[in-house]
Amino acid sequence: MSSSESGRQFINQPRQVVAEALEGCARLRHPDGSGVRLSAPASGMRLVVRDDWARDQVALISGGGSGHEPAHAGFVGAGMLTAAVCGELFASPTVDAVLAAIREVTGEAGALLIVKNYTGDRLNFGLAAERARQEGFKVEMVIVADDVALPDNPQPRGLAGTLLVHKVTGALAARGAGLKEITAVARRVADSCSTLGVAFNVGRHPGKPREQRAPELGLGIHGEPGAMALELGGASDTHGVHAVMDTVVTALVQGHSRKEAGGDLPASGHLLMINDLGGCSALERSLLLNEALTHPSLQALGIHAVVGPQPLMTSLDMHGFSLTLLPLDSLLEEALSASCAPVAWPGVQSVTPLTHFTPSQDAARTLSDEASDAMRAQAKADCQARAAHGVKSRAGLPGDPQVEQRLRAALEILLASEADLDRLDAISGDGDTGSTFASGARAVIEALEDCELACGDSGELMATIGKQLAHGMGGSSGVLLSTLFTAAATRWKEQSEANGQAPLGQRWHDALSHGVARMQHYGGASRGDRSLLDALLPALEALQSSLQTTASGRVDWAAMARAARQGADATAEMTKARAGRSAYVPSSHLVGNSDPGAEAVARVFEALADAAEEAAG
Closest CA to 141 of 123, 159, 155: 123
Section 306-325 average pLDDT? 97
Helix residue ranges per DSSP H, 500-595: 504-523, 533-549, 557-570, 587-590
The Cα angle at residue 556 between residues 555 and 559, in degrees rounded to 5 = 145
Q: How far apart are CA 465 and CA 458, in angstroms?
A: 10
The strand pairing partners of 310, in sequence order, are 275
pLDDT above 90 covers a percentage of the chain that reads: 69
Q: How many CA atoms lie within 13 A of 612 on its CB side?
A: 14
Question: Which element (helix H / strand E) includes 115?
Answer: strand 111-116
- Residue 110 vs residues 54, 184, 201, 215: alpha-carbon distances, Å: 13, 14, 41, 44
What residue type is assigned to position 518 of the chain? Answer: R
pLDDT band at 565 (very low <50, low <70, confident <90, very high): very high
The predicted pLDDT at position 614 comes to 85
Section 185-207 average pLDDT? 94
Is pLDDT of 180 > 70? yes
Closest CA to 564 of 602, 617, 606: 602
Section 296-305 average pLDDT? 95
Is pLDDT of 234 > 60? no
Span 116-146, pLDDT tens digits: 999 999 999 999 999 999 999 999 999 999 9
Section 84-94 average pLDDT? 96
Is pLDDT of 228 > 80? yes
Is 505 in contact with 547 (CB distance < 8 Å)?
yes
pLDDT band at 238 (very low <50, low <70, confident <90, very high): very low
The predicted pLDDT at position 452 comes to 85
Mean pLDDT of the chain, nearest integer: 88
Span 16-41, pLDDT tens digits: 999 999 999 999 999 999 999 999 99
pLDDT above 70 covers a percentage of the chain that reads: 86
Section 241-251 average pLDDT? 95
Lowest mean pLDDT among 175-189, 232-246, 561-575: 232-246
Check: pTM over 0.85? Answer yes or no: no
Q: How far apart are CA 334 and CA 213, in angstroms?
A: 41
The residue length of the chain stands at 617
Q: How many CA atoms lie within 13 A of 396 on its CB side?
A: 19
- Residue 431 vs residues 419, 443, 528, 603: alpha-carbon distances, Å: 9, 20, 22, 18
Task: Decide which of 418 and 594 is more confident.
Answer: 418
Q: Is 521 a catalytic residue?
A: no
The predicted pLDDT at position 245 comes to 97
Lowest mean pLDDT among 80-89, 187-196, 473-482, 530-539: 473-482
The predicted pLDDT at position 395 comes to 44
Among 222, 270, 319, 509, the one annotated catalytic: 222
Task: Decide which of 304 and 593 is more confident.
Answer: 304
Is pLDDT of 581 > 70? no
The predicted pLDDT at position 359 comes to 87
Three-state secondary structure call for residue 349: strand
Section 304-327 average pLDDT? 97
Is pLDDT of 561 > 90? yes
Is 359 in contact with 321 (CB distance < 8 Å)?
no
Span 346-398, pLDDT tens digits: 999 999 999 999 988 665 444 445 555 565 566 566 666 655 554 444 444 56
Assess whether the previous peptide bond of 72 is cis (omega < 30° from 0): yes
Lowest mean pLDDT among 62-66, 156-160, 568-572: 568-572
Query: For the purposes of burial, counting CB atoms within 10 Å of the CB of 151, is it exposed (0-12), middle (13-18) or buried (19 or more)?
Result: exposed
